Amino acid sequence: MKRFNPYSWPPWLRQVRAICAQVIIPITIFQAVRTILLPTTFDVILLAIFVLIAVALHLEWI
């Protein structure tokens, strides 16, 4: 299995990942509040996707 090295990415792609890592938490919190107030199937699925992305970015899976 090939070892993951984010420094081999081009600088613009590393910048995009850094921006996504900073933006995903506030979006996830907003979506969680929205899901608590007006729960729909779409909101729950969207919240689950945001949580998975946030965890993946935090654990550096992406």
Q: pLDDT for 35-59, tens place per residue?
A: 999 999 999 999 999 999 999 888 8
Round the average pLDDT of the chain to a whole number and report it: 87
Per-residue pLDDT band at 2 (split at 50, 70, 90): low
Answer yes or no: are the C-beta atoms of 4 and 56 closer than 8 Å: no
**Nearest CA among 8, 14, 51 for reference residue 31:** 51
* Domain extent listing, the chain: 24-62
pLDDT band with cut points at 50, 70 and 90 for residue 61: confident
- The whole-number pLDDT of residue 50 equals 94
